[in-house]
Structure 1
């Protein structure tokens, strides 16, 4: 029996308040309205950005369904949707692409105005598609993929290769693309250059992969968890350093490793203001570029000496690796299917959806790179 046009009852992982675990409950998911798409989620990655909500570092409206790195199949579409149809395999896009706003039309822009609505916790029409016993549940990043079914705006979904394995390509919805693109697109790493990557989680390792693909000759991984070093070297890091092993600041350590020059490119892939400043101070004082990739805490501020950028350094941020999502995601999936890069080394754990809390414990303890939940 077709579910199109009907409310669907399904399982979802709801967070009721900050610093509380997920509760798996039965929710109701409304059918898509005009320009909306309802998706059956097949796999969803456990990302640090979701954990920032649980810890309180990223402020949202509760109760909420998190999740933003997924792959699924279109269940039904609302009136006017032409980009996908029922049965299409898709990736939801936390970084949408409407193609009409000024940012989408700019050749370097990828922060679509539709994404501004994601922070509000509701759909573009001001409603939520999720309810639990009559209570509204908020949406996260316009996607909310920690549910068996979700509804997104048509600007936030793209069709991919029907044969692509969802438990792998879901990483292209966030972690892999964010890190890989930060090196390829945002920094534009050059062949023969020296790079430093602060934070060797899933996104950090994807940044390492991007630096390697761009032809960097030295890629220095920086992390306080030395257990991550073997995997980082497997993915392309030429050496790794633990800031805890030194009495002097890590930027001075990196200057020492580069004959007093500093690295050409540095990447902060943690989301801490102190490491953002350290990464900036680690790159060459005149032509170095430092890229902020990690999501900063909502209430954080940075204080630094203007001399750090007055001498010529470039400091910039990177959202979703600088990719225009609807254009890039299908191509990245095709590149993966064609063997141009591997996602398997990033996935350390595959868990059933109802073990979502275990997936987040693995993340916090540093025992996982990427855990993928399968539905």
Structure 2
């Protein structure tokens, strides 16, 4: 199949995305061809362009957050059929490996290769300029069509709008689960969310859903702080320093029970200031992607030990894709989860570099590329 795709030919060079002709193979064993309705603009794809996520292979077909309709199935596919509506999970879940059967689908062994550029069988499904093209997270949703492994596909109800369903492939569960599962937010908690873009805004939603009574949204961008109030934030602050003063006041000095870090780039120098807002015995969840070569953080280890705080990493918000994607969409259809309000701006595929610039400039909660149906 011949179509269009947004490619990176020089990852790590900030060269931007090239929208050009690509060719996609038919699906093979346990793969499906999906016609996309929409794909989200996620900071993780921009990290590949900037080099924060270093990749030594190119070209790259970006994109990993999307939803669409199955157009063709490969051999061995029985879980879905042509015409089914599906959401992609940027982390596959095989259901058979040790993490999957232990209830940790977000840590599925197949996830080890999501940044490797090849499909599960070690080949390419996408080609351009006579070369094999790697697909981000086995997917490559910066194209109207995707050949995806069945382990990355979650069937959803056809009544759900596909453009909104796309968001539940990455930013929604990552943020929501960071507050609900990783942070283990409890009824009555005070929760601080650092960075309220696409992921952080859903951490706010998750904290509210879990019963937090005070939710502080921290972001230097004023419109994001105001928007966070629509999603459940009770207070806002422009910086970690301002948040500390605020949290001391609203908790009478006790400090916050949980903090979730969802800033665009999780630099190590930020951790000390962010953990300071959390009480003894509290939890700090690191969800932000950090520069891969960064090995040092600023953290008072004596205080961490003596206060019994927990510093917790979270991948996909510790969510289980096959359980939580349908569950979150059910909450949306019941009016209990905001998805429509997450989308700030819609773009065409040809506008992808503008969409990435808007992301870096803090203009969007979530930008969305919408394909012609």
Aligned to 1:298: 292
Superposed CA deviations along residues 282-326 of structure 1, whole A, max 9, x for unmatched, are: 2112x1011111111111123333223312111111111211112
2:253 pairs with 1:260: yes
Aligned to 2:53: 58
How far apart in 2 are the matches of 1:111 and 1:244? 30
Which stretch has the larger CA shift, 186-195 or 329-338?
A: 329-338
1:127 CA displacement: 0.6
| Counterpart selection for 2:79 from 70, 76, 83 | 83
Does the residue aligned with 2:114 lie in a helix, a strand or coil? helix
Superposed CA deviations along residues 319-359 of structure 1, whole A, max 9, x for unmatched, are: 11211112221222222122221211111111222211121
Aligned to 1:331: 327
Aligned to 1:344: 340
How far apart in 2 are the matches of 1:133 and 1:229? 44
Alignment of 1:176-191 (within 5 A): 176-191=172-187
Superposed CA deviations along residues 140-191 of structure 1, whole A, max 9, x for unmatched, are: 1121100111111111111111121111111101111111111111112111
- Gap runs ≥5 in structure 2: none
1:132 CA displacement: 0.6
1:110 CA displacement: 2.5
Alignment of 1:175-324 (within 5 A): 175-243=171-239, 251=244, 254-255=247-248, 257-270=250-263, 271-285=266-280, 287-303=281-297, 304-311=299-306, 312-324=308-320
Which stretch has the larger CA shift, 175-184 or 104-113?
A: 104-113
Superposed CA deviations along residues 250-271 of structure 1, whole A, max 9, x for unmatched, are: 6566445533322100000012
How far apart in 2 are the matches of 1:142 and 1:182? 23
1:277 CA displacement: 3.5
How far apart in 1 are the matches of 2:105 and 2:313? 12
Which stretch has the larger CA shift, 132-141 or 332-341?
A: 332-341
Aligned to 2:109: 113
TM-score scaled by length of structure 2: 0.93
How far apart in 2 are the matches of 1:364 and 1:301? 24
Contact 2:105 2:321 in 1 (8 A): no
**Number of matched pairs:** 364
1:367 CA displacement: 1.2
How far apart in 2 are the matches of 1:264 and 1:36? 44
2:367 pairs with 1:367: no
Contact 1:281 1:308 in 2 (8 A): no
Aligned to 1:103: 99
Aligned to 1:353: 349
Superposed CA deviations along residues 80-137 of structure 1, whole A, max 9, x for unmatched, are: 1111111111111111110000000113452111111112111111111111121111
Does the residue aligned with 2:181 lie in a helix, a strand or coil? helix
Aligned to 1:33: 28
2:16 pairs with 1:21: yes
1:71 CA displacement: 0.5
How far apart in 1 are the matches of 2:104 and 2:70? 30
